[in-house]
Amino acid sequence: MTKNNPNQTDANQVRKQNQASQQQNRNAMNEEFASETDVNQVKKQNQQSMQKMHNQKQNQNAMTEEFGSETDVNQVRKQNQQSEANKTNASGQRSNQFENGSK
Protein backbone atom coordinates (compact mmCIF):
# COMPACT_ATOMS: atom_id res chain seq x y z
CA MET A 1 0.00 0.00 0.00
CA THR A 2 1.39 3.27 -1.02
CA LYS A 3 0.19 6.49 0.48
CA ASN A 4 0.46 8.32 -2.78
CA ASN A 5 -2.18 6.25 -4.59
CA PRO A 6 -5.34 8.45 -4.67
CA ASN A 7 -7.58 5.45 -5.49
CA GLN A 8 -7.00 3.71 -2.16
CA THR A 9 -9.11 4.53 0.91
CA ASP A 10 -7.43 5.42 4.17
CA ALA A 11 -9.38 3.33 6.70
CA ASN A 12 -8.22 5.41 9.65
CA GLN A 13 -9.35 8.59 7.97
CA VAL A 14 -12.79 7.04 7.29
CA ARG A 15 -13.09 5.95 10.94
CA LYS A 16 -12.29 9.47 12.12
CA GLN A 17 -14.86 10.92 9.75
CA ASN A 18 -17.48 8.41 10.91
CA GLN A 19 -16.79 9.17 14.56
CA ALA A 20 -17.03 12.89 13.94
CA SER A 21 -20.31 12.39 12.08
CA GLN A 22 -21.73 10.26 14.89
CA GLN A 23 -20.74 12.89 17.46
CA GLN A 24 -22.47 15.57 15.41
CA ASN A 25 -25.59 13.39 15.23
CA ARG A 26 -25.54 12.93 19.00
CA ASN A 27 -25.19 16.66 19.55
CA ALA A 28 -28.05 17.32 17.17
CA MET A 29 -30.22 14.76 18.99
CA ASN A 30 -29.39 16.35 22.36
CA GLU A 31 -30.36 19.77 21.05
CA GLU A 32 -33.56 18.42 19.51
CA PHE A 33 -34.72 16.41 22.51
CA ALA A 34 -33.21 18.40 25.36
CA SER A 35 -36.57 19.91 26.23
CA GLU A 36 -38.59 16.73 25.87
CA THR A 37 -41.33 16.03 28.39
CA ASP A 38 -40.32 14.44 31.66
CA VAL A 39 -42.92 11.69 32.11
CA ASN A 40 -42.44 11.52 35.87
CA GLN A 41 -42.89 15.27 36.16
CA VAL A 42 -46.12 15.07 34.15
CA LYS A 43 -47.41 12.25 36.36
CA LYS A 44 -46.63 14.31 39.46
CA GLN A 45 -48.41 17.36 38.01
CA ASN A 46 -51.43 15.23 37.09
CA GLN A 47 -51.63 13.83 40.61
CA GLN A 48 -51.43 17.33 42.08
CA SER A 49 -54.14 18.52 39.71
CA MET A 50 -56.41 15.60 40.60
CA GLN A 51 -55.87 16.28 44.30
CA LYS A 52 -56.72 19.96 43.80
CA MET A 53 -59.90 19.09 41.90
CA HIS A 54 -60.87 16.62 44.63
CA ASN A 55 -60.33 19.26 47.33
CA GLN A 56 -62.34 21.85 45.40
CA LYS A 57 -65.21 19.40 44.97
CA GLN A 58 -65.19 18.69 48.71
CA ASN A 59 -65.26 22.43 49.41
CA GLN A 60 -68.19 22.88 47.02
CA ASN A 61 -70.05 20.03 48.69
CA ALA A 62 -69.48 21.63 52.08
CA MET A 63 -70.77 24.96 50.74
CA THR A 64 -73.84 23.25 49.32
CA GLU A 65 -74.54 21.57 52.63
CA GLU A 66 -74.13 24.84 54.50
CA PHE A 67 -75.95 27.13 52.08
CA GLY A 68 -78.10 24.70 50.13
CA SER A 69 -81.32 25.84 51.74
CA GLU A 70 -80.57 29.56 51.44
CA THR A 71 -83.12 31.77 49.69
CA ASP A 72 -82.54 32.63 46.05
CA VAL A 73 -83.33 36.34 46.00
CA ASN A 74 -83.82 36.46 42.24
CA GLN A 75 -86.23 33.55 42.44
CA VAL A 76 -88.23 35.32 45.15
CA ARG A 77 -88.41 38.52 43.08
CA LYS A 78 -89.62 36.56 40.08
CA GLN A 79 -92.29 34.83 42.19
CA ASN A 80 -93.42 38.18 43.62
CA GLN A 81 -93.72 39.70 40.16
CA GLN A 82 -95.68 36.70 38.97
CA SER A 83 -97.94 36.91 42.01
CA GLU A 84 -98.64 40.60 41.40
CA ALA A 85 -99.38 39.90 37.74
CA ASN A 86 -101.74 37.08 38.72
CA LYS A 87 -103.58 39.33 41.18
CA THR A 88 -104.07 42.02 38.56
CA ASN A 89 -105.25 39.53 35.96
CA ALA A 90 -107.59 37.75 38.38
CA SER A 91 -109.20 40.88 39.81
CA GLY A 92 -109.49 42.87 36.63
CA GLN A 93 -111.02 46.36 36.90
CA ARG A 94 -112.61 45.77 40.30
CA SER A 95 -109.18 45.55 41.89
CA ASN A 96 -108.20 48.82 40.30
CA GLN A 97 -111.45 50.49 41.44
CA PHE A 98 -110.88 49.61 45.07
CA GLU A 99 -107.25 50.64 44.99
CA ASN A 100 -108.15 54.00 43.48
CA GLY A 101 -110.81 54.63 46.10
CA SER A 102 -113.72 54.87 43.69
CA LYS A 103 -117.06 53.20 44.48
Q: Does a structural domain hold residue 88? A: yes
SS3 46: helix
Q: Does a structural domain hold residue 49? A: no
Q: Does a structural domain hold residue 82? A: yes
- Residues 10-52 pLDDT 10s: 888 889 999 998 888 877 766 666 667 788 888 999 999 999 9
pLDDT of 3 over the 60 cut: no
Q: Does a structural domain hold residue 79? A: yes
d(CA 32, CA 29): 5
d(CA 19, CA 13): 10
pLDDT of 55 over the 90 cut: no
Q: Does a structural domain hold residue 96? A: yes
Helix ranges restricted to H, the chain: 11-33, 39-67, 73-91, 93-100
- The number of domains in the chain is 1
pTM beyond cutoff 0.85: no
Instruction: State the residue range of the domain holding 95.
Output: 74-103
Q: Does a structural domain hold residue 44? A: no
Average pLDDT, the chain: 78
Q: Does a structural domain hold residue 14? A: no
